[in-house]
Structure 1
Amino acid sequence: MEQNSLLEKWLNNNLSEVEMETFQKSEEYPFYQKLIADASTFKASHFSQLSNFESLKQRLPKREVPVRKLNATTWILRIASVFVLGFALFYFFQFKPEVKIETLAGQKTTVELPDASLVTLNAMSEITYSAKKWKKNRSLTLKGEAFFDVAKGARFDVITDKGSVSVLGTEFNVKQREENFEVICFEGIVKVISGNFTEELRAGERLRLHKGELIRSKSAMEGPQWNSGVSDFIEFPFIEVIKELERQYNIEVILNEVSGESLFTGGFVHNDLENALRSVTEPFGLNFSISENQLVTISKREN
């Protein structure tokens, strides 16, 4: 009896005892057996199956098709392809990778999370979260700065390298850049955890952690200024103001014999580079120049 016929009967569990004995003595049998054993370890869930192939066949429209014999290699490839496809589907649905959203220099974007919470990312910022686990764990990691409008529900956690913020449903802004960690609450109550301290902020309160020093202050803003095209600062080191300027305009700034530790209070717009540069240099009596390739140099004003 031809090997192809034995293989087909074996797959359909229709071999007689004599045929089974013949088939088991063939050179290919160990390979077929291992392939089926590997496929049987695949466990799919939430899928219904028909009781037998005949019930499926009865549902299909009858039509005449040419009969084509399949050789052993074709059968093996078909079995293998089904196994690979099944494993791929299982992996996709059971082990979905985390969702990552990031912005480039000069870019802002608003995204909707699975629970309808909204996150607006400032320039050069990034959030990562698990869509699959979101219903049980409303948690994401943040690099950079973002404004959150959180839908009411279970606890919502924002995790950064410098600390975390936990809320139930509110509006707040989180900023984590280099050594700075800042949280502003615009609505509701947020809990801030960083290192050994835990603080609660209510609407209109701001908390900032800089180089281990905790600073609390009031905020009269109804939302983050950067979301309206303006970056604002209260006693921030000048070098950090310059870095934010670089992020918003996608430029490089060189400080020529200018201290980056001087504290700056003020702001700059995001749609006019020269205006922005005047806003950050004039309070210190500094000059600036812009080269053709958008390289900005800030230097002391000559007497």
Structure 2
Amino acid sequence: MNKDKLLEKWLNDALTDAEMETFKARNDYELNLSIVENAKLFKASEISTVEEFHKFKADYNSKKTFSKKRTLLMPILKIAAVLVIAFGVYWVLFSNPMVTVETLAMEKTKVELPDHSVVTLNALSGIEYNKTNWISKREVRLSGEAYFKVSKGKTFNVITNQGIVTVVGTRFNVKQRDQYFSVKCFEGRVKVSSNGIEKILEKGDSYQISNGIYAKRKIASSQPSWLENKSNFEAVPLKEVFAELERQYNIEIIYNDVDTERLFTGGFVNDNLKNALISITKPMNLTFELRSSKIVIIHGKNQ
């Protein structure tokens, strides 16, 4: 049977059972069915009064006028939006002179300053400096620990919460952590000002303040041990040693009857947690428990 004839009979509800099966098998059956079903949803509008028509016309004209105004304003609004975005980009890229670099736990990174001085940041550390007036004012704000190779030039200041280190051209390490502050001079001379104490360090000198107690020692190394993936300490409270372990391995340490103010001299590697824990706990007569990959429990001698 002709397809159009079959469609006509279906619309008139005149198909036989066999013809209905044939019609349902057609590719356009679902489309035709959808058209008919949607058509049933349409109905004639109710009769409106003259007053209702005038009200509708007034509302329509009002909306049409607003639409025209909005259409006219759209180009202006687009231009304004572009200008706002452009100003924001300019402010971020050019008007903000401060540069901030930070490291995460287990991370170290090198930063080259505008005068080609190089700063190497230890884990969980950060620096901030002004790139715009760097030539006239070489000044870095430090949080954490960093090793500096300073190019010769004007005075170079490293500012921390616990003291200021001033140099001209040298190599030195600065560490500032809570109640601990140390400076080690590997080349040249540096001046350290902290808590009312001012000292000049020569090559091989180490300046340290822990819990308000000042100590000056000698060092034999030519650079910080953490640059070689090791952390070394001399007469440093255990709490600072374990805090460094947490930074290097991104772990949490829980103490169980441990005197964290005891002084520790020694070191640990930064690439093997178990070996590092043995290096700290064994000479201090402590034990450790690896609760998980992120949690370590340190037990005192009575445990």
Distance 1:86 1:139 in 2: 31
What CA distance in whole angstroms lies between the structure 2 residues aligned with 1:114 and 1:135?
Answer: 8
Q: Distance in 1 between matches of 2:190 and 2:203?
A: 9
Q: Secondary structure at the match of 1:259?
A: coil
User: In the alignment, which residue of structure 2 is the partner of 1:166?
Assistant: 166
**In the alignment, which residue of structure 2 is the partner of 1:205?**
205
In 2, Cα distance between the equivalents of 1:94 and 1:81?
Answer: 20
Give 1:76 deviation, angstroms. 3.9
Letter in 1 for 2:190: V
Q: Helix, strand or coil for the counterpart of 2:279? A: helix
User: Is the CA contact 2:164–2:193 (under 8 Å) kept in the aligned structure 1?
Assistant: yes
Q: Kindly report which structure 2 residues correspond to 1:108-127, keeping only aligned pairs within 5 A, or say none.
A: 108-127=108-127
Say whether 1:262 aligns with 2:236.
no
Task: Judge conservation of contact 2:105–2:250 (CA < 8 Å) in 1.
Answer: yes
Deviations 1:170-229 (A, max 9, x none): 100000011111000000111111132221111110011122222111111100001111
Q: 1:294 maps to which residue? A: 294
**1:1-303 matched pairs, under 5 angstroms:** 73=73, 76-77=76-77, 80=80, 84=84, 87-88=87-88, 91-92=91-92, 95-301=95-301
**For each residue in 1:210-252, what CA deviation from the matched residue of structure 2 results, as whole angstroms up to 9, or x when unmatched?**
2222211111110000111110111011111111111101111
Q: Deviation at 1:301?
A: 4.4
Deviations 1:157-181 (A, max 9, x none): 1000000101111100000011111
What is the rounded CA distance, in whole Å, between the counterparts of 1:198 and 1:118 in structure 2?
25
Deviations 1:13-37 (A, max 9, x none): xxxxxxxxxxxxxxxxxxxxxxxxx
Identity of matched residues, %:
46
Give the C-alpha shift of residue 133 in structure 1: 1.9
Deviations 1:116-164 (A, max 9, x none): 1111011110111111121221111111000000111111110000001
Q: Distance in 2 between matches of 1:300 and 1:74?
A: 72
Contact 2:210 2:236 in 1 (8 A): no
What letter matches 2:292 in structure 1? E
- TM-superposed CA distance for 1:274, in Å, is 0.7
Distance apart, 1:254 and its partner CA: 1.2
Q: Report how many residues are paired.
A: 233
Gaps in structure 2 of 5+ consecutive residues: 1-70
- Structure 1 stretches lacking a partner, 5+ long: 1-70
Q: Are residues 280 and 133 of structure 1, via their aligned partners in 2, closer, same or farther at CA, if it must alter by over 3 Å? A: same
SS across alignment from 2:217: strand
Q: Which amino acid aligns with 2:151?
A: A
For each residue in 1:30-66, what CA deviation from the matched residue of structure 2 results, as whole angstroms up to 9, or x when unmatched?
Answer: xxxxxxxxxxxxxxxxxxxxxxxxxxxxxxxxxxxxx
Larger radius of gyration: 2
Letter of the aligned partner of 1:142 in structure 2? L
Query: Residue 282 of structure 2 aligns to a residue in which SS?
Result: helix
Closer, same or farther: CA 265–76 of 1 in aligned 2, 3 Å? same
Report the TM-score when normalising by structure 1: 0.71
Structure 1 residues 103 and 81: CA distance shift in structure 2, 3 A: closer
Whichever residue aligns with residue 105 of structure 2, its letter is A
TM-score (norm: length of structure 2) = 0.71
Contact 2:125 2:144 in 1 (8 A): yes
Q: Secondary structure at the match of 1:142?
A: strand
Q: Output the CA distance in 2 between the equivalents of 1:108 and 1:231.
A: 13
Q: 1:298 to 1:88 in 2, by over 3 A?
A: closer
Letter in 2 for 1:259: D
Secondary structure of 1:284 counterpart: coil
Tell me which residue corresponds to 2:26: none
The structural deviation recorded for 1:89 is 6.4
Query: What are the superposed Cα offsets for residues 60-87 of structure 1, whole Å, 9 maximum, x if unpaired?
Result: xxxxxxxxxxx96467457646754674
Secondary structure at 1:254 match in 2: strand
